[in-house]
Amino acid sequence: MTAVSPLFRAAGRLVSPGGSKGKLTILTYHRVPADIDPLLSSDQVDAQKFAKHMRAISECFNVLPLPQAIEHLERGTLPARALSITFDDGYQDNYTIALPILQRHGLKATFFVCSGYLNEGLMFNDVIVEALRACPSADLNLSWLGLGQIPVHDLVSKRLASEKILGAVKYLPFSEREEACGRLWQSAVPGKERPRLMMTDEQIRKLASLGMTIGGHTHTHPILNRLDLDSAREDIALNRRMLGALIGQEPVVFAYPNGRPVRDYGHEHVKLLKELGYQSAVSTAWGVATQSCDRYQLPRFSPWDDNPRRLVLRLFKNALLGQRPLTAPDAS
Ligand SMILES: [Zn+2]
């Protein structure tokens, strides 16, 4: 990468200029497993790929902490090739695997944390994956989920099964989804303890003390559009209070769970965030943030390339073409 970096940097200044025409690329990561996990999606970023990403990004982009980058974007003082790195949910491997790689390159990142799963918790998607991973049976009777008898005898069938179950429960009302995941766990691995995948309180405090940004991501990761507004307010406010108590300062940036504008959250949630004291928020709509973007619905991008050059070219293409991101319109 190093030999071509000057060329890439020059090209990057054209597609991602600074100043009043500034563009901010915001990357989203989730889990960063030590090795490729056959039960996770094929576009996962493991330790090796993440290290390649960070090396290429530190050579070709100006990486800024997200809150500062947003301030620069608004004031028209962003540097060219501006980029911020974010992680959603609060996975422990963000601390054990990703943090040392970030530190090696002197990079700061933002971690959007669901307070309800810290320490011992497990998010519903992981309950499904981990239940299937540990399931010793050849098949599972999931007719109560409308899925019938499904095979789970090897990694391929477990992966297929987890996608089917995820599709069946993802948009259920929150309590029904929790109940379905609990029932799945009991039928797949009765009595087994759930593995620990999320960060501890102490790890969150350590991240903050190292100059990393901690952002809000709700307490229990509900799809906000599936909740009544009062419950959404309670969940978002509780998350902000709990993170504030942990790190001594309430977070100012927020990421919507699942994050797809219109489908997963609406403009009423944008208003909620303002009411509750948040200063900006990110969605999962793909695009690049410009001065004309709603600072409470900034788009992000999730690169998956293994090849560093292809990664940088993809980020440039996003900076060039991703300027009209999807947002939840203000209907009031
Ligand atoms: Zn999330």
- CA of residue 332 to ligand 1 center, whole Å: 27
pLDDT tens, position by position, 177-224: 999 999 999 999 999 999 999 999 999 999 999 999 999 999 999 999
Element (H, E) at 282: strand 280-286
- CA of residue 114 to ligand 1 center, whole Å: 8
CATH topology (fold) of 2-119+197-321: TIM Barrel (3.20.20)
- Name the band, by pLDDT with cuts 50, 70 and 90, for residue 174: confident
- CA of residue 251 to ligand 1 center, whole Å: 16
- CA of residue 106 to ligand 1 center, whole Å: 25
Residue 330 identity (one-letter amino acid): D
Enumerate the H helices of 189-291 as residue ranges. Answer: 201-209, 229-247, 267-276
pLDDT tens, position by position, 61-98: 999 999 999 999 999 999 999 999 999 999 999 999 99
Rounded CA gap, 249 and 247, in Å?
6
Q: Where are the domains of the chain?
A: 2-119+197-321, 124-188
Beta-bridge partner residues of 282: 255, 298
Rounded CA gap, 216 and 241, in Å?
10
Element (H, E) at 84: strand 82-89
Residue 213 neighbours by CB under 8 Å, 6+ apart: 65, 66, 67, 108, 109, 110, 111, 251, 253
pLDDT tens, position by position, 234-250: 999 999 999 999 999 99
Inter-CA distances, 157 with 42, 106, 125, 146, 162, Å:
15, 41, 17, 18, 9
